[in-house]
Amino acid sequence: MDCVYMNPQEPIEARVKHLLSLMTLKEKIGQMTQIERSVATPSAIKHFSIVLSCCAPHNGRFEKVLVLSSDSADMVDGFQKLALESRLAIPIIYGVDAIHGNSSVYGATRFPHNVGLGATRIGATTSLELRASGFHYTFAPCVAVCEDLRWGRCYESYSENTEIVRKMTSFVLGLQGHPPERQPRGYPFVAGRNNVVACGKHFVGDGGTEKGVNEVDCIAKGVSTIMVSYSRWNGNKLHGHHFRLNEVLKEKLGFKGFVISEWEEIDECQPYGSDYRHCISTAINAGIDMVMVPFRFEIFIEELMSLVQLGEIPIAGTDDAVERILRVKFAAELFEFPLTDRSLLDVVGGKLHRDLARKTVQKSLVLLKNGKDPSKPFLPLNRNAKRVLVAGTHAHDIGYQCGGWIGTKYESSGQITIGTTILDAVKEAVGNETEVIYEQCPSTDIIERSDVSFAIVVVREGPYAECGGDNSELVIPFNGDGIINLVADKIPTLVILISGRPFLSEQCLLEKIDALVAAWLPVTEAQRITDVIFGDHDFKGQLPMTWFRRVEQLDQPVGVSSCDPLFPLDYGLKYGKENLHD
């Protein structure tokens, strides 16, 4: 008999049904289990066909040193070869958090975080660099609509405006490719070897979305996987919400890809860890197909097998989950091309991709203030000034400039990857006769000098990701306000705010400074910041989120909280004195 599932000429559904009929219960459960690479033993991969995930291919679970794309490809291919030695030779699908480019390898192209970007070309670039590094799957895009700036995932959201976020679901097309016109709605699609499996996250209501409308757009674009939100719906954990996952997402919306859990989130289906067996039963019966375990996979597999054998989880439910997972693997052509295409390695961090990243930074900058007197703009700066002061705790640190999800999800300091700091960019931008002085917290001697033409003060928020970034005060940390006050009292000052969200800006401080730029999280390409502030290009950015006056405004209902803002949604100035929010 021909091996139907290995024949690429056969329809995907026929291949799925044939392979499923050959699988043991243990092999099926292996497909539903996603583990972290640090616990991925050869035995686990060969005997369970376990799917892998990681934040980055590090030597050690929390090591911060990134590896090269070629080393990453070697690692993933090593895992893949073990999987292909299994009884049915089912390939693994290796997933990473490519939140803003292929950020898990050294020298790859990084883009600003979602709060400052959004374009299909960025998705295509990320896809190429992921495949060059051996990765098949990325947990992106995040299509949350952030309605409260105190939320720790704010910078993962494109905007507070649902329509803007809906437009950004085109990122799916960049990652996976454009499905043909007659592609069935909700059916997973990956165009070829240069594309990766995308993941729309998080379903549903993540960040305050209105009825999950942005997730629906992802489904229409052929997204292959969807991640469940860790939030609650009317008090019920979405990881255990049968109605939302099965009846709405899979049946009503017709989603045919697989549904994946958040990291260790099924544990929350009961008081954390109190009854793991019940947590597994609740999540799988609710409609979760693949579980990010990610470490105690032996216990997970043992308990899930027992639950199925005892009928507490119907075999039809596990079969449906495995069908969905296999459907995505066949759509991604992993059975035909399981190993890395090494010809793609040269594209990683190449000039075309870096140029795109630089243009993205340039377009994302938002000019909020330009001159104490509107008739006398402070920017663009004079690149031939005699002496320039650069100050602030984070003006010269590429790691802090990048923000989270570079290797590990929390940011690291120092020269963690190839890139240019704001200080270095300023030094490159000014004339040969201009002296650039850098002090994190300027001394009295510097402040009192009368020959400093102007100062550039760079302030930012601290390292964070996800709930670690929840912030009830939204005050600029690291004595940011203090440094601004110190400098602006004596020297004409441009303030550049590096952050994933708006921050509290006291009126007295705003009156004291001469210009204010929201640079978001520009990652590695600070030259594009200096291109704009020194006048080579005009500002084009507009605020994706309302800039509040008082934190208390965030407690008001949606719509009301945007009344009397410091700067409204879509606000942004140009050198031509045109306010883009007309």
At 507, which CATH number?
Answer: 3.40.50.1700
In a domain, 214, yes or no: yes
**pLDDT greater than 50 at residue 578:** no
Residue 574: predicted pLDDT: 93
Query: Is-contact 575 534, C-beta < 8 A?
Result: no
Mean pLDDT, residues 533-538 taken together: 94
Whether residue 387 contacts residue 447, with contact meaning beta carbons closer than 8 Å, is answered with: no
Q: What are the strands of the beta sheet with 387-391, ordered from one edge?
A: 366-370, 515-520, 493-498, 454-460, 387-391, 435-439
CA dihedral sign of residues 38, 42, 47, 50: positive
Q: Can you tell me the mean pLDDT for 370-375?
A: 90
Percent of the chain with pLDDT over 70: 86
Side-chain-side CA neighbours of 228 within 13 Å: the count stands at: 36
Domain boundary among 285, 319, 347: 347
Confidence of residue 22 (pLDDT cuts 50, 70, 90): very high
**Side-chain-side CA neighbours of residue 116 (13 Å):** 31
The number of residues in the chain equals: 582
Helix (H) / strand (E) element for 203: namely strand 199-203
Same domain, 297 and 334: yes
268 and 380 inside one domain: no
What is the average per-residue pLDDT within 342-361? 87
Tracing tokens 């979405």 back to the chain, one arrives at 238
Which two three-digit tokens encode residue 441?
């917290």
pLDDT tens digits for range 167-202: 888 889 999 999 998 899 999 999 999 999 999 988
> Would you state the pLDDT for residue 58?
46
Same domain as 94, residue 159: yes
In a domain, 582, yes or no: no
- Whether residue 108 contacts residue 101, with contact meaning beta carbons closer than 8 Å, is answered with yes
**Sequence-ordered list of residues with C-beta below 8 angstroms from that of 277, at least 6 positions apart, any chain:** 303, 306, 307
Domain range for 72 = 4-347
Report DSSP letters for 465-528, one per residue: -GGGG--SS---TTTHHHHHHHHHTTS-EEEEEE-SS-----HHHHHH-SEEEEEE--TTBTHH
Examine residue 352 and state whether it is found in any structural domain, yes or no. Answer: no
Joined tokens for residue 157 = 């959201």
Could you give the percent of the chain with pLDDT greater than 90?
50
In terms of domains, do 76 and 9 share one? yes
Single-letter amino acid, residue 463: P
Q: Do 341 and 383 belong together in one domain?
A: no
pLDDT score recorded for residue 278: 92
417 and 274 part of one domain: no
547 secondary structure, DSSP code: B
Residue 237 has pLDDT above 60, yes or no: yes
Residue 438 has pLDDT above 50, yes or no: yes
- Which of 226, 119, 227 has its CA nearest to residue 175? 119
What pLDDT shows up at residue 62?
A: 36
Can you spell out the DSSP letters for 320-341?
A: HHHHHHHHHHHHTTTTT--S--
- In a shared domain, residues 288 and 140: yes
Q: Quickly list H helices, 267-386.
A: 276-286, 297-309, 315-331, 351-364
pLDDT at residue 61, rounded to an integer: 39
pLDDT at 117 over 70: no
Q: What pLDDT, on the 0 to 100 scale, is given for residue 142?
A: 84
Q: Decide: 214 and 166 in contact? Cβ < 8 Å.
A: yes
Mark residue 39 as left, alpha or beta (left: phi above 0; alpha: psi -120 to 50; beta: remaining): alpha
Q: How far apart are CA 162 and CA 147, in angstroms?
A: 10
Average pLDDT over residues 497-521: 87
Q: Are residues 271 and 339 in the same domain?
A: yes
Helix (H) or strand (E) holding 71: helix 69-84
The Cα–Cα gap between 357 and 108 comes to 11
Contact between 151 and 202 under an 8 Å Cβ cutoff? The reply is no
Q: With left for phi above 0 and alpha for psi between -120 and 50, is residue 90 left, alpha or beta?
A: beta
Report pLDDT digits (tens) over 251-279. 999 999 999 999 888 888 876 556 899 99
Tell me whether residue 527 is exposed, middle or buried, using C-beta atoms within 10 angstroms of its C-beta: 0 to 12, 13 to 18, 19 or more.
buried
pLDDT score of 379 more than 90: yes
Helix (H/G/I), strand (E/B), else coil: 420? strand
> Pick the residue with more confidence: 496 or 122?
496
User: pLDDT at position 339, please?
Assistant: 97
Let me know if residue 25 belongs to a domain.
yes
pLDDT at 21: 97
Residue type, 427: K
Q: Residue 286: which pLDDT band, with cuts at 50, 70 and 90?
A: very high
User: How is residue 340 written in tokens?
Assistant: 């890395």
Q: Which of 121-130, 297-306, 476-485, 563-572 has the highest mean pLDDT?
A: 297-306
In a domain, 338, yes or no: yes
C-alpha 443: how far from its chain's center?
38
pTM: 0.88
CATH code (residue 124): 3.20.20.300
Q: How far apart are CA 161 and CA 117, in angstroms?
A: 14
User: Is 223 in the same domain as 119?
Assistant: yes
**Statement to judge: residues 337 and 391 lie in one domain:** no
Residue 78, number of CB atoms within 10 A of its CB: 12
Is residue 356 one of the residues assigned to a domain?
no
CB 423 within 8 A of CB 484: no
pLDDT at residue 213 in the model: 44
Do 331 and 379 fall into the same domain? no
In this prediction, residue 559 has a pLDDT band, given cuts at 50, 70 and 90, of: low
What does pLDDT average to over the chain? 85
Strands 515-520 and 366-370: antiparallel
Q: Give the helix ranges, DSSP H, for 137-275.
A: 162-168, 171-176, 213-220, 242
**What is the mean pLDDT of the segment spanning 33-59?**
78
Q: Which comes out higher in pLDDT, residue 557 or 363?
A: 363
- Note the pLDDT of residue 511: 92
pLDDT tens digit sequence for 443-478:
989 898 888 999 999 998 766 666 666 767 777 777
> Do the domain assignments include residue 201?
yes
Least confident of 48-52, 239-243, 547-551, 561-565: 561-565
- Classify residue 343 as exposed, middle or buried by CB count within 10 Å of its CB (0-12, 13-18, 19+): exposed
Residue 317 lies inside a defined structural domain of this protein: yes
- 100-to-130, 143, 179, 346, 379 alpha-carbon distances in Å: 12, 13, 23, 20, 29
| Boundary residue ending a domain (286, 313, 347) | 347
pLDDT at 10 over 50: yes
Please answer whether residues 205 and 212 qualify as being in contact, where contact means their C-beta atoms are separated by less than 8 angstroms.
yes
Of residues 455 and 580, the one with the higher pLDDT is: 455
Residues 397 and 487 reside in one and the same domain: yes
- Selected residue with higher pLDDT from 462 and 88: 88
Which of these three, 283, 317, 347, is where a domain ends? Answer: 347
How many structural domains comprise the chain?
A: 2
